[in-house]
Homo-oligomer: A and B are copies of this chain.
Amino acid sequence: MNKDELKTMLEQVSKGELSVDEAVTRIKLQPYDDLDFAKIDTHRGIRQGADEVIYSEGKTAEQICKIVKHILENSSESVLITRLSEDKAETLGKEIKLFYDKASRIGIAGDKPANKNVGNIVVATGGTSDIPVAEEAALTAEFYGNKVTRLYDVGVSGVHRLIGNAEVLADARVVIAIAGMEGALASVIGGMTDCPVIAVPTSVGYGANFRGLSALLSMLNSCASGVSVVNIDNGFGAGYIANMINKQGI
């Protein structure tokens, strides 16, 4: 169902030719467009409150381009693209309007939405090396209109850096705690604040870090009570959930 079809259907509703219930059903029954290699969920905005996002790994630049164009033409003015490699970004940029952040590998196709600075999400990292994941979270949250406060390199081995920023944490509605190595940041922050903490383990480290397993297990075993966890290096997921929580009641 493209824009025109949607328009036609809504006109029928307004004329009383189609019941509201029936219209809802049709939308539910045709909730995706079939590009053969991908079934695009163009109505996710209606069902889930946020538009379709494209995860780029394992997709060719050509496939990404087709999906983006389809969405921009049919359902949305901008599309968030994650894990976009530099060379795919370059290819894409020749065909469509594209904002691209190299560190986080975030791309935004179409018109980058203005940030409405809703609420307050604090994005904290244990070290400088965690910044790419943090930016993926921060840019995702900003894409959806949230205010983001960055608090980088406040790892627990120098706990005074965290305590010195206690007020920044106190102002947050959600905190995203991002750390590799032993991943203890989430527990310490969890004990310092009364808002939900989304923990993101990163693969930063070596040896017995086992590509992020160490931080992942730490965060899952956090003795602080308000901490939940997403996949290793999943900055996007954390930004998306933080957006949901931040907007509760706003």
In the complex, A244→B249 CA distance in Å? 12
Please report the total number of A residues contacting B with Cβ < 8 Å: 101
Give which listed residue, B188, B233, B236, contacts A156 with CB less than 8 A.
B188
Given A216-B208, A228-B241, A245-B248, do A126 and B157 touch, yes or no (CB 8 Å)?
A: no
A31 within 8 A of B: yes
With A32-B158, A152-B37, A156-B184 given, is the CB distance from A220 to B226 under 8 Å?
no
Complex Cα distance A218/B188, Å?
14
A selection of 13 A-B contacts at a CB cut-off of 8 Å is A29-B164, A31-B160, A37-B152, A181-B223, A182-B183, A183-B184, A195-B248, A196-B244, A207-B212, A207-B233, A207-B234, A220-B229, A228-B238
11 more A-B residue pairs beyond the given contacts A48-B191, A159-B159, A229-B229, with a C-beta to C-beta distance below 8 A: A39-B154, A157-B222, A184-B184, A184-B188, A195-B244, A196-B245, A198-B228, A225-B240, A227-B237, A228-B229, A228-B241
